[in-house]
Amino acid sequence: MRWIVAYDISSNKVRNKVSNILTKYGYRVQYSVFYIPDATRKDIENLIETIKPLINPKTDRVFFYPIEDITVFKGCPLQPWDIQIF
């Protein structure tokens, strides 16, 4: 299954650690958003257990969003010239 992981982490040190961990699983698509193209639910559970001790629950958030194959199939990637700002 594919996953999107987004985070808001206040500590630079922790943010860098989480980023380095996520880089082993997938690709950065924005500064605090990663795309994980192929991971089982068990892989994600292990990833959560790795990240959880680093996170301050009072100030930090990490979100894991599963993406079904049909969602990816129906998606439409935009090229820079396809985006219009009004």
| Res 13: pLDDT | 97
CATH 3.50.50.60 correct for 2-76: no
| Res 68: pLDDT | 75
Angle at 33 between CA 43 and CA 72, to 5 degrees: 70
pLDDT in tens, 4-17: 999 999 999 999 99
Q: How far apart are CA 65 and CA 40, in angstroms?
A: 13
Cβ-defined contacts of 23-28 (< 8 Å, 24+): none
pLDDT at 32 over 60: yes
Alpha helices by DSSP H, the chain: 12-23, 41-51, 69-74
Q: pTM of this prediction?
A: 0.78
The domains of the chain are located at 2-76
Residues facing residue 27 across a β-bridge: 35
Q: Comparing 28-37, 55-64, 73-82, which segment has the lowest mean pLDDT?
A: 73-82
